[in-house]
A and B are shown apart, each in its own frame.
Chain A
Amino acid sequence: MSTKKENALVRAQTIVGAAIIPVFVIGYWVVCSKKGILNTTILTSPEQLVARFLKMFSDGSLWKNIFSSTRRVLEGFTIGAFLGLVIGSLVGLFKPIRILLSAVISILRPIPPISMIPFFILWLGIGEESKLTIIAIGSFWSVLLNTIQGFQDTDPNLVEVADVFGKSKAVILFKIVLPSAIPSVFTGLRLGMSHAWTAVVTAEMIAASSGVGYMIQYARELSQPDLLLLGIVCIGIIGLIIDTVVMFIQKKVVYWRTIE
């Protein structure tokens, strides 16, 4: 058992260790820009980036883009995760459904959702529907596959315990099968969320009039490297925030396991 003090020390070491490379890279970048080595038409200087950030922060345009991307992610993810959970549960629980869907799943799964963007634009138009569909598909697969996996994670030994105590199928389902599936389901949700975020940026870069992906595409067209970099940094930071939040929830829900 480690004490609180030791834990704090370990945590501090981890934070410092993780910061070394980013600090070095940023420092190198600052130095290069100060010495004028940097070609600012390709890579913006730190000052320009910060200035752009402050400007967009105060006039609200940054928030507008982040907000529309986040809303799309949440909507698309909700649809994709819901379908993944429902279909995954059915496939995991009922063998006939598993047999029925196995070929379909194997054929569709390897198709990258991004490759379907043109198809959905043709089908659903350039509006929100095509983007939400792509995001939903992006999150759907990891939720589906991990949910199916989760239902296969039930320990037959625990089911035997329930049998010895003469428990019903319903008790086995709710007290053993479902809790056994939860850790894997959460892994699926976490992956699904990060895929949804990847999908939204891609979809927005192809067809949108708002969002972080649009922001990057717009910056490219007007060759504004500061805006371009700001968009990329935003994607990284938001992705990190989302993953941290989901991991926090996962730790609370799957309290009996440390994160795999």
Chain B
Amino acid sequence: MGLSVKNVKRVFSINQNDLEVLKDINLEIRDGEIISIVGGSGCGKSTLLKLIAGLDRPTGGEIRLDDKPIVKPDPQNIGMIFQEARLFPWSTVEKNIEFGMTDKLSKEEKAERVKEHIELVGLTGFEKALPAQLSGGMKQRVSIARGLINRPRLLLLDEPFGALDAFTKMNLQQEVLRIWEREHMTLILVTHDIDEAIYLGDRVVVMSPKPGVVKKIFSVELSRERDRTSADFAAYRRKVFDEFFERKEVDTDYSI
């Protein structure tokens, strides 16, 4: 069970030139696991997420959720959160969250579930607010509530905190962890923030571009109460860092 990505390949045709965006991607993701995917721009990490979401089809290979191939969006099982909150500016917080709902429920049940999710993301009191009246962090909370409204088993996060300031970002990372501890859905987080990847991920998948391939997968053997400032954390950070930048060794012979 879980999510299985097998030999996935995605080629885009741009002006009659074939551009290989993803090549031989293989990932086995267990239920309830948190996977961080890091990589620079153009490594195909967002394309991979779109394929998993069913918004796009692979040129080759296959993606299966519980052994069923993903061929189109499956809102019952898969939720998605984007970098921008992508809220409807004309709809209230409540209505924006309700938009995601696919279950056929009565009006009362719908309202109850919306209320529950507003509480979950800590926006009680802002039910009737319009997006323009919210801060960036609050908008992203609405978007998280909308992504969770169908209680998906798999939640995809496409650089969800990339546009937020550092403190709001850390706040929301904790919030997502808190929600994950309650619901235990599978999380796949695409990010370019190495700290974020290590802080949240059970495993960190490092991708590299041209063509987009999985370069390395790290298991983060740290307890869930992760301390960003600890030595262990720093060690992981260094390991992931080294995948991106060659380290310049300081020549000790010449130091005092």
- Which positions in A face B, CB cutoff 8 Å? 155, 157-158, 160-166, 175-176, 179, 182, 255-257
Contacts and interface: CB of A to CB of B under 8 A. Distances in A.
Interface residues of B, number: 21
Given A160-B55, A256-B89, A257-B89, A165 B99 contact: yes
21 contacts: A157-B84, A158-B88, A160-B55, A161-B86, A161-B99, A162-B99, A163-B73, A164-B53, A164-B55, A164-B79, A164-B80, A165-B75, A166-B73, A166-B75, A175-B88, A179-B90, A182-B90, A255-B90, A256-B90, A256-B130, A257-B132
A161 B82 contact: yes
Interface string B15-29: 000000000000000
B102 interface: yes
Nearest to A161: B86
B32 interface: no
A257 B53 CA distance: 32
Interface in B40-91: 53, 55, 72-75, 78-80, 82, 84, 86, 88-90
A160 B53 CA distance: 11
Contact of A165 (B82, B102, B130, B131): B102
A162 B131 CA distance: 17
B136 interface: no
Task: Pick from B53, B75, B86 the residue with the most CB of A within 10 Å.
Answer: B86
Contacts of B132: 256-257
A256 B73 CA distance: 30
A45 B91 CA distance: 55
A177 to B, nearest CB: 12
B89 A175 contact: no
Contacts of A161: 82, 86, 99
B100 interface: yes
Contact of B74 (A155, A160, A166, A176): A166
Nearest to B130: A256
B86 A163 contact: no
A172 to B, nearest CB: 11
Contacts of B79: 164
Contacts of B74: 166
Contacts of B89: 256-257
B155 to A, nearest CB: 11
Given A256-B89, A256-B130, 20 more contacts: A157-B84, A157-B86, A158-B86, A160-B82, A160-B86, A162-B99, A164-B53, A164-B78, A164-B79, A165-B73, A165-B99, A166-B72, A166-B73, A166-B74, A166-B102, A176-B88, A182-B90, A256-B131, A257-B89, A257-B132
Interface string B84-120: 1010111000000001101000000000000000000
A179 B82 contact: no
A157 B50 CA distance: 13
B55 A163 contact: yes
A6 to B, nearest CB: 19
Contacts of B80: 164
Nearest to A253: B90
Given A157-B82, A256-B132, A164 B73 contact: yes
B206 to A, nearest CB: 26
Q: Which 8 A/B pairs are nearest by Cβ-Cβ distance?
A: A166-B75, A256-B89, A256-B90, A165-B75, A164-B80, A179-B90, A166-B73, A161-B86
Contacts of A162: 99
Interface string B190-225: 000000000000000000000000000000000000
Contacts of B73: 163-166
A165 B100 contact: yes
Contacts of A157: 82, 84, 86
A132 to B, nearest CB: 34
Contacts of B75: 164-166
A180 to B, nearest CB: 9
A176 B89 CA distance: 10
B117 to A, nearest CB: 14
